[in-house]
Amino acid sequence: MEKIIEESKQGESLVLENKPENTKKLFIESYGCAMNFSDSEVVASILSDGGYNTTSVLEEADLVLVNTCSIRDKAEQTIRKRLEKYNAVKRINPKMKVGVLGCMAERLKSQFLEEEKIVDLVVGPDAYKDLPNLLAEVEEGRDAINVILSKEETYGDISPVRLMSNGITALVSITRGCDNMCTFCVVPFTRGRERSREPQSIMTEIQDLWGKGFKEITLLGQNVDSYLWYGGGLKKDFVNASEMQKATAVDFDQLLEMVAVGFPKMRIRFSTSNPQDMHESILHVIAKYPNICKHIHLPVQSGSNRILKEMNRLHSREEYMALIDKIRAIVPDASISQDMIAGFPTETEEDHQDTMSLMEYVKYNFGYMYSYSERPGTLAGRKMKDDVEEETKARRLQEIVDLQQKHAWFRSEEFVGKTVEVLVEKVSKKSKEEFSGRNSQSITVVFPKENYKIGDFVNVKITSCTSGTLKGEAVGYSEMN
């Protein structure tokens, strides 16, 4: 499971700068994880070159696209409601075309076109370059579908248009797909096998962002720690690489160091990590460079060894705890966040208590917690009975959330009295007199504006906190400016 973009951003549609020569209008919405939002930027770039300007007004669009998520049933239900809305508008504006992109497109394939007849085109995560051809098919009155998963496609040659941008932070995709066949997860089936993007294309994209004034990037992938470039191709085929390819291969700690050294005044984050792939060498790179943020999102999903085995997680409880100890030793000021699933098939009360005790051991800064939702097509969906009662799932989830809230308070209070570096991202929601940004540990910090501006790196002395927000006063610019 992957970190989901915050709730307020779900379904957000932003307008880009128009090209005067473009005559058609594109309305594009994104749901789900950061990878989907990053992919929408690739799509917007492809269609901008194909004559489309973006619009936030659904009713005036020639083309409506929704980039979808299949991670939980709730996400799919949200998309279906949006498709109903699109089609209500389409009845008024029959020339409007509707398309589904992303993981739900990959999972349901022709069902949207043939059975439900609610969209004109269906495009999987590896087929966005085929959009101009698919749209031409639609214009000729034919339904269009391309959900073929690629062994090579990384979109390394596309310069993404920044749809979600505040002009300060940006997502940079470095891998696609996943080889970890967790039994609850649809990603390997909707995004294909794991492959990495050519390092120089990543550096070129970051250089472009730096030139445009961006101050922070997040290196993005389903599993960034297993990044491996050896000239192209799937990670699983690396065993067949030549001696020269193996000798010149670039792994994640090397890429992370390349970016940190190449852009010393730019903040670098990464997401998502998998416990079995996070090697000690990565931790030493994080510790060495001050511009690499001290936050590690480290999904665990359960604290029970029996459930971890049922989930096909390739780590044990003990191995996970040993990795936590290593992080604390090498990067002592790192914040750690989690993903947790309550009520996985066969989960007992003892298994649940193992999860609670693991949380007590780690005391995470924050987390993303869900009750188990059976996903059709996954191994768990095919072979395991969803046998934990819904009310039991809900109660266990609430206990996990309550414990996380307690730990979040504990971790927030550790910052009180300390001075932290904050990248100013926006005006605070609660007061126009305050700025909001994040520190290196990805904790939100608010402080009085004074004469600072969005995009500044500011040292802030923390005076108080809530479980999720630090409050303080600016004491000057940081060395990152």
The reply to whether 465 sits in an annotated binding site is: no
Cβ burial of 383 (10 Å; 0-12, 13-18, 19+) is exposed
pLDDT at 150: 60
How many CB atoms are closer than 10 A to CB 178? 24
pLDDT at 236: 87
Q: Which of 82-91, 278-287, 339-348 has the lowest mean pLDDT?
A: 82-91
- Listing DSSP states for 25-85 in one string gives EEEEEE-SBHHHHHHHHHHHHHHHTTTEEE-S-GGG-SEEEEEE--SSHHHHHHHHHHHHH
- Asked if the model's pLDDT at residue 215 lies above 50, the reply is yes
CA distance 61 to 81: 18
**CATH architecture classification, 418-477:** Beta Barrel (2.40)
The reply to whether 293 sits in an annotated binding site is: no
pLDDT at 11: 54
pLDDT at 5: 47
- Asked if the model's pLDDT at residue 293 lies above 80, the reply is yes
What are the C-alpha distances in Å from 78 to residues 8, 70, 270? 14, 11, 28
Give mean pLDDT, residues 272-281. 93
Residues forming beta bridges with residue 99, ordered by sequence position: 65, 121
CATH of domain 169-413: 3.80.30.20
Q: At what angle do helices 252-262 and 199-211 cross, to 10 degrees?
A: 30
The CATH 3.80.30.20 portion of the chain extends over: 169-413
Q: Which of 21-30, 55-64, 102-111, 276-285 has the lowest mean pLDDT?
A: 102-111
Instruction: Enumerate the H helices of 192-251 as residue ranges.
Output: 199-211, 243-247
The CATH 3.40.50.12160 portion of the chain extends over: 24-146
The reply to whether 69 sits in an annotated binding site is: yes
The CATH 2.40.50.140 portion of the chain extends over: 418-477
Q: Which of 128-132, 212-216, 424-428 has the lowest mean pLDDT?
A: 128-132
DSSP state of 301: B
Selection from 429, 431, 432, 478 nearest residue 455 by Cα: 478
pLDDT at 476: 97
CA distance 459 to 422: 6
The reply to whether 185 sits in an annotated binding site is: yes
- List pLDDT tens digits, range 427-454: 998 999 999 999 999 999 999 999 999 9
Q: Which of 156-170, 193-207, 376-390 has the lowest mean pLDDT?
A: 156-170
**pLDDT-above-90 percentage for the chain:** 58
Tell me the CATH number of domain 24-146, given options 3.40.50.12160, 3.10.50.40, 1.20.120.350, 3.40.718.10. Answer: 3.40.50.12160
pLDDT at 158: 60
- Asked if the model's pLDDT at residue 139 lies above 90, the reply is no
How high does pLDDT run on average in the chain? 89
